[in-house]
Structure 1
Amino acid sequence: MSKAICYGMIGCGMMGQEHLRNIALVEGAHVGAIFEPDAGMRAEAAALAPGARFVDSVEELLADRMVEALVVTSPNHMHLPQLEQIAQASPRPVLVEKPLFTDPTDLDRVRGLGLSAPVWVAMEYRYMPPVAALIDTAEQATGGIRMLTIREHRFPFLPKVGDWNRFNAQTGGTLVEKCCHFFDLMRHILKDDPVRIMASGGQDVNHLDESYDGQTPDIWDNAYVIVDFKRGAHAMLELCMFAEGARYQEEISAIGPKGKIECLVPGPGRFWPAHLGAPPVPQLIESPRDPKGPRAIDIAVDPALLAAGDHNGSTYYQHARFADVVRGQGAVEVSLDDGIWAVLMGMAAQESARTGRAMAISDRGFTPV
């Protein structure tokens, strides 16, 4: 029996509830305290974690000495201030949802957090079984990746509490809010850092007929991003958020001198049209140059994990590893530095698309080329 862990949750909206369902699947884990200011989301969270105590502030949550680990799933623009509260109170292991911050002027604040306990940035896409299989075999299958392409064709942004995800000021922009996952994957798969980013994107279809307090949403719904890396590899992101009719939501391909490897990842099963039968199964496809011909492997995912969230089982695998960190039996796999890089890449891409100029990027920020 694994050592029991009592979690405290900061925020329990849609993503927070996915974390609740997956924590419940981790042996020895339970949620003891929750801070969620919205009454509707509190009711949803109470049904998922009936033994949890609800508190009225982050301060009250942090004062609970029974809480051994924290999960931050509040709206994007609240992540950094809440991490600062945690650092100043009683640090303990933290799993914080992406993105770490939403304003480029806050970079020094993030670097100065001074958290003495482990911090894991939630990059669920690394742990999707088909993506994890690609990561494990890409180097051997390609002979060294020279080109990496990530395509996401998906549904529009879903409604969130207070409609916070409709505006760049609260999300950091689509290429930060949504796509920091993919920029993290680029660095993780290539084991390298970017040096230049070029992008084109905009808001062409979604949310244009919506209005909130007299303001029309400004969140983008499509983009292309090209990234050059230090050791010469090239990567590209293609995002479309009005393509929910696609069979697969994510398609990732890596190509090198020996061949190509790709993975195909379906979207959330709850969105798959019932009249089409069973949802598609994730696949890993290897296409060597010699002998030619693709080899496709189905990557089945436990139905219980699929039912616990919208990320192909990855939230569970992430939590299982984070629980090892809390128990002192594992190491953080997605660091603050990883989280910072992912945000900087998204911000550089947003600025490139906005200005029409390529951006030089380093771990200290980005500037026009």
Structure 2
Amino acid sequence: MADEEEKRTITVKYGIIGVGMMGREHLINLSHLRHHGVSVVSIADPHPPSLTSAIDLAHSFNWPLQVFSGHKEMLDSEVCDVVIVSSPNMTHHRILMDIIAHPKPHHVLVEKPLCTTVAHCKEVVEAARKRPDIMVQVGLEYRYMPPVAKLIKIVKGGEVGPIRMVAIREHRFPFLVKVNDWNRFNANTGGTLVEKCCHFFDLMRLFAGASPIRVMASGAMDVNHKDEVYDGKVPDIIDNAYVIVEFDNGSRGMLDLCMFAEGSKNEQEISVVGDEGKGEAFVPEGIVRFGTRVSGRDGVQTIQTVDERINFLEHLNFLHAIKNKGTETPEVDLMDGLISVAIGVAAQVSIEQGRFVSMDEVL
């Protein structure tokens, strides 16, 4: 008990690189962990309006910050122990390589996607292997949504039997406006199926408990952003797709993505079917349904899931791993980040070339 109390009271100093919308969300979420010894001490961002907004937010939590325009200056200050990387996707690779190469070890939570290309993801993975003093977790936080977490528990508990099919539907609003409109182009995001859907490919792999072997996809840019122009260029990000992923244990996953479907009751609907039963999760309703073939339709259970820690559970688990380094590892590691990006890349290639793409081709 004394050891646990000591771990709780140790101050862990955080820095946030990139304090746009996501960075400020991390700032808010970390404020809930103050009694766990968390303190945000620095931020870095080249965009002055983002810095101003983050400073005002930090002041509301009585957190004095050291403010930097660049991530290298923040690293060299050596004021923080943990770094959150929530900058635009195309900056992740360079920032992560700089963090890993820095003489002072900094543990890292990097927003998804890990990087925008498989090659860059691999470089980060290889560099991190040479730094056993650093822990890196990838922000595939959909695992922590209460209904999804409950469904994962049901599936991993064997209640539906060996998994055969995973179907994920995301019907939602278009991409939000970001700083300098960076998220309107594949070159910056990695493509919609990397940028947005790495979450779902991660969940498919988790539910299937297997490795992906090939991908087939069909998608297009049919509705959103077609009348937008930035520096003379029209956005090229797709806004809808179907993706099929085949796994090496014979199971299959399917993604149904539509980003002009604001008239939906749920943004995400997840169905996992095994030999013996079926589980479903609905977000944001927070509902899980579970039934077996034996009990039939009348035996389907409906469970309302609630977890007040939802906004900071990802951070809480990573903090636990940091404080127990040597016996704990990040729940979502660099290989999870790499494979989720690789599936998205394979899907983008499949759309461009109209064929199945093997994972060996992209890995």
TM-score by length of 2: 0.90
Match of 1:217 among 216, 235, 245: 235
1:190 and 2:208 are equivalent in the alignment? yes
Match of 2:260 among 242, 260, 264: 242
Deviations 1:4-60 (A, max 9, x none): 211011001111111111011112212101001112111221122122221132121
Correspondence for 1:92: 106
1:178 and 2:196 are equivalent in the alignment? yes
1:132 and 2:149 are equivalent in the alignment? yes
CA distance in 2, matches of 1:292, 1:103: 44
Structure 1 residues 62 and 12: CA distance shift in structure 2, 3 A: same
* Aligned pairs (5 A) from 1:141-290: 141-266=159-284, 281-290=285-294
Structure 1 residue ranges, 4+ long, deviating more than 4 angstroms after superposition: none
CA distance in 2, matches of 1:104, 1:188: 19
Deviation at 1:108, TM superposition (A): 4.2
| 3-state secondary structure, aligned to 1:109 | helix
Match of 1:76 among 72, 80, 89: 89
Deviation at 1:103, TM superposition (A): 2.8
Correspondence for 1:103: 117
Higher deviation after alignment, 28-37 or 157-166:
28-37
Does the CA-based 8 Å contact 2:345-2:362 persist in structure 1? Answer: no
Structure 2 unmatched ranges of 5 or more: none
Correspondence for 1:54: 67
Correspondence for 1:17: 24
Correspondence for 2:136: 119
Alignment size in residue pairs: 341
Does the CA-based 8 Å contact 2:321-2:329 persist in structure 1? Answer: yes
Correspondence for 2:37: 28
CA distance in 2, matches of 1:14, 1:254: 32
Correspondence for 1:42: 51
1:298 and 2:315 are equivalent in the alignment? no
Amino acid at match of 1:125: Y
Does the CA-based 8 Å contact 1:141-1:261 persist in structure 2? Answer: no
Structure 1 residues 129 and 107: CA distance shift in structure 2, 3 A: closer
Does the CA-based 8 Å contact 2:166-2:204 persist in structure 1? Answer: yes
CA distance in 2, matches of 1:59, 1:36: 11
Deviation at 1:244, TM superposition (A): 1.4
CA distance in 1, matches of 2:78, 2:352: 47
Match of 2:322 among 301, 322, 326: 326
Deviations 1:300-327 (A, max 9, x none): 243xx5xxxxxxx2x4110001111222
